[in-house]
Structure 1
Amino acid sequence: MPTTRRARRTAIVLVAVAALVALAFGVASAVPRSMQTRDLRTSDADFPNPERGWFDNVDLLDPGSISSAEHDGITTVHSYLRLDAYRDSRLPASFLRSLNTGFGALRTAHLKVVLRIAYNFDGAGPDAPLDRVQEHAAQLKPVLARNADVVFAFEAGFIGAWGEWHDSTNGLDTTGAKAAVLDAVLTAFPRSRDVALRYPADIRALLPQQVTADTAYDGSPAARIGNHEDCFLSSVPDDRGTWGQAGGSVEADKALVASLGRYTVVGGETCGVSDRTTCPTALGELARLHFSYLNRQFDTAALDRLKQGGCSDEIGRRLGYRLAVTHLGWTEDVQPGGGLGLELEVRNFGFAHVVNARPVYVVLTKGAHSVALPLKTDIRTWAPGTTTKIEEDLRLPASVTPGSWALHLWMPDAASDLRSVPAYAIRLANEGAWEAGSGRNVLSARVQVG
């Protein structure tokens, strides 16, 4: 009998120790929690999402042109910021105020811009000398920093025709001058945003070390450089000089942009028709190069050919990211202050990844009450063409009231002033998931608290 009593005492001590260990490590209960699982239905519907898709061109200095672009499912616009009048002078304060007003109009319209700065809009117009470019970039820096929230990405600009890094009238076509302009751009433009260069040859020359998974989000120059291809599908084999310049091959340049596009921004426009202007070629290269944005206004002949080929709608759906939760697992019963186990499988059906950082939350709602629980996952790593598996243990606040709570996924903008704006949140490609009024996605699951 003494042995039995000792064994009982030992068992009681072990249970007490286990309970203390569980509390120390934040486990709500030593009893295994019951998990529910569910497969979710995806949707083929076409719908807008921020920082991706077809774009329209607007004049950032003309708020009227901005408001005209907001009613047609477009979330991204492109703007040439024209500095023609200031090739020989500083930017006046009135210009900078007008630019700030234009950014405000974007915010009101719930749009974001891909911005390129240029001194002309033709194939032979003059640009500005290097010292003027550097001066203007420095002047623009505070305005750009103040309005980075409504910038999707930058195109390097400043040099040559259309700010497209060719045909400079001030000798800015050399590697040294391009390096100086790129340095001014990277210094003046917010570090949170990528800068796209026009030609892979310039990327090779100016950034011999390319971005990798280990350096993708460290803010270094290599981690911020993408590509804008402004003659997509427009000639065989080099898209009017895009590919294979300066001793490189067409294939090597495409492989370079494909590797960049996995981590940085890629976009562009068509500029003519060729034997490459076909749906199989378009879909294949948009996916390989990871396009996030494409001009829907130019070139009309090329766009008409893609429409006739039957792939325009698919391009519109898949430009950038397209995310859907395909499988969900969650803790069925949770105590206030307890742990909520979560398993998510998210498929990215898009051509590209989410380019800019943003938070991801699981949100519990009950009536007018909500609790947002941040996930540790980095949404930028949800790669195109793959399924990302997320497993996290979340801690509910002790103040959560008992009852049945609905489960949502919320991916708002990273900027504090845009976080509460539903139009800037990411919508999942799941049937019946989107709540337009909140910017959250219903996961068709309920958690019983208490």
Structure 2
Amino acid sequence: ELTLMQTDLQILREAGLKCVLRFAYTDDMNGTDAPLAIVEQHLDQLKPIFEANKDVIAFVQAGFIGAWGEWHSSSNNLSTTENQKKVLFKLLSVLSTEIMVQVRTPAMKQNIFNTTQPLTADVAYSAENQARVGHHNDCFMSGGTNYGTYSNVEAEKNYISSEALYVPTGGETCPPQSGYDPTCPEGRTEMQLLKWTYLNLDYYQPTVNAWKNSGCFDEFNRYLGYRLALVSAELSKEATTSAEYQVKISLTNKGYAPLYNYKNTLLVLKNKDSGTAYEVPLAVDVRACKPNGTLTIAESVKFTGIPAGNYNLYLKIADQSETLKNRPEYAVRLANTDTWVEEEGLNNLNHELQITTP
């Protein structure tokens, strides 16, 4: 099975995709999961797979416990907070610290970490376990408590809304309860509040199809996750090979969520005559561009080693992985028209620069 999994992940990589992983022992409410010792043994066996494929793993749902790995109906008493914590911490320990894990309900995270306070900026993106745990809701848009996802609905939704500035939320819909109607306005409001970053289209089909028929599905598809756009770029038209060059670029995020995985951001200079490209790293962390917010990149850079000449300027927001950083499929495309250079994964700043030797 591990060989099959590695084959699938390699196919995923070749296709230019990433995955949200979840492991489960049964898809039957009356089925059996595994004892804790076996879960831990399996996680040890999975560790090399996780490490070899961390570049194409977007997030991991905690899984393993109960039917569908949704952390209920465990046949081995794994649904207690104590055992949930053991499974979660073991999973976190075998994953690279850059990979975030999602748990099934907000109360589960609150109970495991013994706090109802959401993540704050000073802890976010660190290697601490709490900073690596987000949320998945597999009965999204079903009304009421979303089949027990929430116990204190308003408070826990606000908790997730705050947490989702730093950790991911996503999942799938469920059959609506008690006459609830998951209309387009309801879906939009919930996705914006909870900073929804992905949605499983396979379930629940009637809700997804209703959005398609009502005309809002394409909107949701565009705004799920981050949607960065260039606001402005203030760049001089002249520079020298030795002096500092001031970069001021403003981005906005029109999406429902921020980015959660670190990206390498670079200013790219492409020589107009030779076509040779030069990359100048920027220190900015674009995860700081939150929904409905603006992020200004204001940095001084030097063009050491770049020959004098005339250049076109581009912004590159690339995957942090060595294996994917030069793959255009994994670069961030800004939501502006006529700026994307698809074959190179670059965003055209529509700016020309002349570099001279002092």
Corresponding residue for 1:297?
Answer: 202
3-state SS of the aligned residue for 1:419?
coil
CA shift, 1:337, in A, is 2.3
- How far apart, in 2, do the equivalents of 1:340 and 1:148 lie? 36
Corresponding residue for 1:314?
Answer: 219
Corresponding residue for 1:357?
Answer: 262
Corresponding residue for 2:158?
Answer: 255
Alignment pair present for 1:411 and 2:314: no
3-state SS of the aligned residue for 1:327?
strand
Aligned positions of 1:186-265 closer than 5 A: 186-209=92-115, 210-235=118-143, 237-244=144-151, 249-265=152-168
Alignment pair present for 1:375 and 2:279: no
CA shift, 1:323, in A, is 0.5
**Residue type of the alignment partner of 2:164:** G
- Residue by residue over 1:393-412, the C-alpha shift from the partner in whole angstroms, topping out at 9 and shown as x without a partner, is 11111x32222210100011
Aligned positions of 1:101-112 closer than 5 A: 101-112=7-18
**Residue type of the alignment partner of 2:345:** G
Alignment pair present for 1:168 and 2:79: no
- How far apart, in 1, do the equivalents of 2:297 and 2:114 lie? 34
8 Å CA contact retained: 1:197, 1:203: yes
**Residue type of the alignment partner of 2:16:** H
Aligned positions of 1:332-347 closer than 5 A: 332-347=237-252
- How far apart, in 2, do the equivalents of 1:389 and 1:177 lie? 44
Alignment pair present for 1:273 and 2:180: no
Identity of aligned residues (%): 36
Normalization by structure 1: what TM-score?
A: 0.76
- How far apart, in 2, do the equivalents of 1:408 and 1:219 lie? 32
8 Å CA contact retained: 1:273, 1:301: no
Aligned positions of 1:107-186 closer than 5 A: 107-186=13-92
Report the aligned-residue RMSD: 1.2
For the pair shown, the structure with the greater C-alpha radius of gyration is 1
- Residue by residue over 1:232-280, the C-alpha shift from the partner in whole angstroms, topping out at 9 and shown as x without a partner, is 1113x11111111xxxx11111111111111011100101135240111
Q: Which has the higher contact order (CA 8 A, sep 6+)?
A: 1
CA shift, 1:102, in A, is 1.5
8 Å CA contact retained: 1:342, 1:391: yes
- How far apart, in 1, do the equivalents of 2:284 and 2:327 lie? 22
8 Å CA contact retained: 2:165, 2:290: yes
- How far apart, in 1, do the equivalents of 2:257 and 2:43 lie? 29
- How far apart, in 1, do the equivalents of 2:170 and 2:201 lie? 12
- How far apart, in 1, do the equivalents of 2:132 and 2:162 lie? 13
- How far apart, in 1, do the equivalents of 2:276 and 2:333 lie? 21
8 Å CA contact retained: 2:33, 2:67: yes
- How far apart, in 2, do the equivalents of 1:270 and 1:259 lie? 21
- How far apart, in 2, do the equivalents of 1:411 and 1:425 lie? 6
8 Å CA contact retained: 1:96, 1:143: yes
- How far apart, in 1, do the equivalents of 2:56 and 2:112 lie? 28
**Residue type of the alignment partner of 1:370:** A
**Residue type of the alignment partner of 1:386:** G
Normalization by structure 2: what TM-score?
A: 0.95
3-state SS of the aligned residue for 1:195?
strand
**Residue type of the alignment partner of 1:225:** V
- Residue by residue over 1:96-152, the C-alpha shift from the partner in whole angstroms, topping out at 9 and shown as x without a partner, is 222212111111111100000100123221100111111111111111011100000
Corresponding residue for 1:8?
Answer: none
8 Å CA contact retained: 1:337, 1:400: no
**Residue type of the alignment partner of 2:163:** L
**Residue type of the alignment partner of 1:395:** K
Alignment pair present for 1:444 and 2:347: no
8 Å CA contact retained: 1:107, 1:150: yes
Corresponding residue for 2:253?
Answer: 348
8 Å CA contact retained: 1:199, 1:229: yes
3-state SS of the aligned residue for 1:394?
strand
- How far apart, in 2, do the equivalents of 1:313 and 1:250 lie? 28
8 Å CA contact retained: 1:404, 1:446: yes
Deviating beyond 6 angstroms after TM superposition, the runs of 4 or more aligned structure 1 residues are none
- How far apart, in 2, do the equivalents of 1:410 and 1:369 lie? 15
- How far apart, in 2, do the equivalents of 1:333 and 1:368 lie? 19
Corresponding residue for 1:396?
Answer: 303
- How far apart, in 2, do the equivalents of 1:303 and 1:412 lie? 31
8 Å CA contact retained: 2:82, 2:112: no
CA shift, 1:179, in A, is 1.2
- How far apart, in 2, do the equivalents of 1:260 and 1:136 lie? 30
- Residue by residue over 1:185-222, the C-alpha shift from the partner in whole angstroms, topping out at 9 and shown as x without a partner, is 11112211110000111011012354210110111111
CA shift, 1:326, in A, is 0.9
Q: May I ask how many residue pairs the two structures share in their alignment? A: 350
Gaps of 5+ in 2: none
- How far apart, in 2, do the equivalents of 1:327 and 1:337 lie? 26
8 Å CA contact retained: 2:81, 2:111: yes
